[in-house]
Amino acid sequence: MTETIYNEEELLRMLDSLLREPDVFWTEFYRDREKKIPFFKNIPDENLVSYHNNGLLTSGKVLELGCGPGRNAIYLARQGWEVDAVDVSDTSLQWAKERAAESNVSIYFIHKNIFDLDIEEGEYDLIYDSGCFHHVAPHRRLSYTKLINKALKKGGHFALTSFVPGGKLGGAVMTDWEVYRTGSLRGGLGYDKTKLEQIFSDFESVEIRKMNDMDEIQQMFGISELIAALFKKI
């Protein structure tokens, strides 16, 4: 393997290699389905449900980035969306496929790194990300925003949930340079309203708030240690 950099993509791949390899980590993470992980339960994010209940979202074609075991993809399919769902972990996708079959919904699952997706211009009405963005390294943020911009139709929506800075679940408070000095995202970076609005400044901010805490009775996932944001492409 050559270690000479000839183009931007090779530079990005080199920087990727300095940090944790996501496919190996997430494949192992989802191997044990009995772990007491709150988002292992087959229930949707409370903010995603609220967007539908409040009429902010209706239906169309959606891409979920980092779908995990498929809980939000299944909810979206039940709401009438045509769903594409991508994840780098084959163990999580196997679980998601089993859940989708049990729920009798049709979802197109894609086993890829999100930055290797081949997407048509303006293909989606919605892009949803529940907990993927805070694991994206600083050098990949531009790749991420380019992906969102390309994939979304004009007037389409982009929504995410992310760690808050210094939260109990994660949310490392560190500069971008520190990420590379230490060679780690420390479990995931933290984002507040101001930083999200700066990163996604090409979009209209519709709603940014902390998630509401949910219990098992409500059949929704919600933890106030996470921030939820909804943007619109203008």
**In CATH, what number is assigned to the domain containing residue 211?**
3.40.50.150
In a domain, 47, yes or no: yes
* β-bridge pairing 152-163 and 61-65: unpaired
Contact (Cβ atoms closer than 8 angstroms) between residue 40 and residue 216: no
What pLDDT is recorded for position 21? 61
Short-list 25, 23, 1, 5, CA closest to 13: 5
Q: What is the reported pTM? A: 0.95
Residues of the domain holding 166: 8-233
Per DSSP, the residues of 29-53 read: HTT-TTS--GGGSS--BHHHHHHHH
Averaged pLDDT for residues 206-230? 96
- In the chain, how many domains are there? 1
- CA separation for the pair 40, 71 (Å, rounded): 8
How confident is the model over 63-116, as pLDDT tens digits?
999 999 999 999 999 999 999 999 999 999 999 999 999 999 999 999 999 999
CA distances to 59, 62, 130, 160 from 122, in Å: 15, 11, 21, 19
Reported confidence tier of residue 19, pLDDT bands at 50, 70, 90: confident
- What pLDDT band is residue 215 in, cutting at 50, 70 and 90? confident
Could you report the per-residue pLDDT of 123-157, keeping only the tens digit for each?
999 999 999 999 999 999 999 999 999 999 999 99
Average model confidence (pLDDT) for the chain?
95
1 found inside a domain: no
Assigned domain for 14 exists: yes
Q: Answer yes or no: is 215 within a domain.
A: yes
In a domain, 3, yes or no: no
Query: Is the sign of the CA dihedral 88, 160, 152, 100 positive or negative?
Result: positive
Q: How confident is the model at residue 3 (pLDDT cuts 50, 70, 90)?
A: confident
Q: What is the C-alpha separation between 234 and 230, in angstroms, rounded? A: 13
In a domain, 2, yes or no: no
